[in-house]
Structure 1
Amino acid sequence: MGLFDFLKKATEPAIPEAVRTTGGPGVVHAPATGRVEPMASLPDPVFAGGAMGLATGVWPERGVAFAPISGTLTIAMPHAFGIVNDEMEVLVHVGVDTVEMNGEGFEVLVEKGQQIEAGSPLVTFDRDKVAAAGYPDVVITIVMSTADVEARGGSASACAEKHIEAGAPLMRVEG
C-alpha cells in the first residue's frame, strides 16, 4: 500500500446499499426514487405504446437503479437489465437511447446469470453524463411477460403514485 492509496480509495464510487422492498408476490418494485411517469407518457414510442409489455418510468433523484424483482439476471448491460423468475420476466432500461453511450458513465454492479434479490443495486450511472449526451435518464421498468400473464387469465397493473421510493410497489402482476 502506497502513501497516497487512501486518496484513490476515497474517490472510488461506493456500491450503494440495497433498498428495502415492500409488498408480496407479484409485486414489481420501483427501481429508483423519483417522479413516476405513466406508460403512455414515456419519452420512447416503443415503451409508451406497450409493444414490449406494461411499462412504467421513474425519473431518478440519484444515479442508481435497483432490481425490481428477485430472480436470475438474463441481461446485464450498462443500460439494460433483464430479470426472470417463476412469476414474470422484467426489463429495467436506464434512460432512452442510452445504448448509444456505449457504457460511458455507467458502472454495472452485477453479472449475467447471477441470482439477485429485489432491491439490490444493479448499476450506478452519471446523470450529468446522460444529460450531456442528450438522453432522458428515466428508468423504465417493463413487465416483458405481460402477454403471457394475460393469456393465462391474469393481469398486470401500474401504480397511480406521482412520486415513489425505490423498493416500493410500482406494478403488480396477478395470475
Structure 2
Amino acid sequence: MTSAASFVERAAVVLGACLLTTSALAAYSTPVRDVENPARTPVADSGTTTVDPGFVGVFGTPIAEVPENTRLVVEYVSVSCTTNAGNPVVVTSLGIVEAVASGTITRNFQIPIQYQGTGAFGAVYVGALATRLYADRGLSGVGVISAVQRANGTGTTSCTFSVSGHTVNI
C-alpha cells in the first residue's frame, strides 16, 4: 500500500507542476506591440482663422495638408478663439476633404466650444474633440480647412485650430 500511496502522491505532484507551469505561461504571455509601421506617419498641424471687422464668418482657411497617395486620419482637434466682448463665437468647424468620382467634396464637422472668460486679448472660447475623421488630398494638397462664425461683424476674431493624427498610404 505504501508504494500505491507513494505513486498517487508523485502523480499528484507531477500533475500539479504541469498545471502550474501551463497556467503561469498563459498568465504571463509575451506582450505584442505595434512597431513602427512605415505606412503610418504621425501628423500634428495648426492654422489660424481671422474674421475681420465687417464680416460675421470665414470659411476655407487651410489647417492641414495631405501628402500625395495618403489619407489623413484626424484623431484630435482643438480650437482656441479670442474676440471682442459682446461678440460671441457661435460656430467653429472643420471642413474635411473627401475624394469622390467627380473630384472632391468638403464635409463640415462642428467643434463644440465654450466661453472661458475674458483674457488679455478679449473674450476667450475653447473647444476640443477626440474624433476619427478621414481627409483626402484636396486643391493644393489641403485636406483640412476651418470655419468660424460669430454673432456680429464688430472687431476682429481670431481662432487657432490644431489637429493631430496620422497618415495612411492609399
Name the structure where strand makes up a greater proportion of residues. Answer: 2
Q: Calculate the TM-score normalised by the size of structure 1.
A: 0.32
Q: Name the TM-score, length of structure 2 as normaliser.
A: 0.32
1 or 2 for the larger relative contact order (CA 8 Å, sep ≥6)? 2
Rg larger for: 2
